[in-house]
């Protein structure tokens, strides 16, 4: 009896392993990037960004994230579809993202930057963003950005934010955005501008492909 149970257990484990290998052939890309709520409230409100529809994914693409990147939502949609073949479109590069100032004279403590000694500064905060809309049957494969700012300007963590939402007609909207900081004055009120942190985001573009079953 024990031998029979043992044999059945081994067979079950082999079956699981085989299914796992088969599923891996379906997934076009993977990423270890965790979903993040950087500068995002539970209601989906993001300072300086208007998100349309229902938010189904929030991710931060850091300089260490393997590219291309696909959201956990799209990976799940891919697995559930059980489709082995997808048609790839792209790569496409967006026009320059919209650059908007969202904070003026925000008091911030900066540390670890060669062009600004550690201390308190009054800074202007900018956001650079772009949106891409895909058909409901498509999967977004994010390729990267020409420049990387801060994913979260409060913590000064670098990265690109990707917010995925579903519109009323079933299409998906992908909003890419990142922040930059312009220190203007020190704690004594002296003008001290010596460069944008981490980089001037003017002209930033975002590159992507998408996969679709057609």
Question: How high is the pLDDT of residue 121?
Answer: 98
- Ordered mean pLDDT values, 10 residues apiece, the chain (214 residues): 38 35 30 39 65 92 95 88 80 97 97 96 98 94 98 96 92 97 97 98 98 84
Question: How high is the pLDDT of residue 45?
Answer: 62
Question: How high is the pLDDT of residue 26?
Answer: 25
Question: Residue 75 sits in which domain range?
Answer: 2-212
**Please, what sign has the CA dihedral across residues 112, 46, 141, 57?**
positive
Query: For the chain, what is the domain count?
Result: 1
Question: How high is the pLDDT of residue 78?
Answer: 85
Question: How high is the pLDDT of residue 204?
Answer: 98
| Contacts for 185 with CB less than 8 Å, ≥ 6 apart | 105, 121, 122, 191, 192
């Amino acid at each position: 009896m024990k031998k029979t149970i043992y044999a059945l257990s081994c067979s079950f484990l082999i079956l699981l392993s085989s299914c796992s290998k088969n599923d891996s052939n379906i997934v076009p890309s993977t990423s270890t990037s965790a979903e993040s709520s950087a500068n995002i409230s539970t209601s989906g409100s993001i300072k300086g960004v208007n998100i349309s529809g229902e938010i189904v994914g929030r991710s931060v693409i850091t300089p260490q994230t393997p590219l291309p990147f696909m959201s956990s939502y799209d990976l799940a949609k891919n697995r559930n579809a059980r489709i082995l073949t997808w048609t790839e479109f792209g790569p496409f590069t967006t026009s320059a993202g919209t650059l908007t100032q969202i904070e003026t004279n925000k008091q911030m403590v900066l540390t670890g930057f060669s062009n600004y000694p550690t201390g308190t500064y009054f800074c202007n905060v900018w956001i650079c963003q772009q949106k891409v809309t895909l058909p409901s049957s498509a999967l977004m494969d994010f390729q990267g950005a020409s420049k990387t700012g801060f994913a979260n300007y409060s913590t000064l963590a670098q990265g690109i934010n990707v917010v995925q939402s579903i519109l009323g007609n079933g299409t998906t909207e992908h909003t890419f955005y990142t922040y930059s900081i312009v220190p203007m004055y020190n704690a004594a009120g002296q003008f001290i501008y010596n460069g944008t942190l981490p980089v001037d985001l003017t002209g930033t573009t975002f590159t992507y492909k998408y996969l679709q079953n057609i």
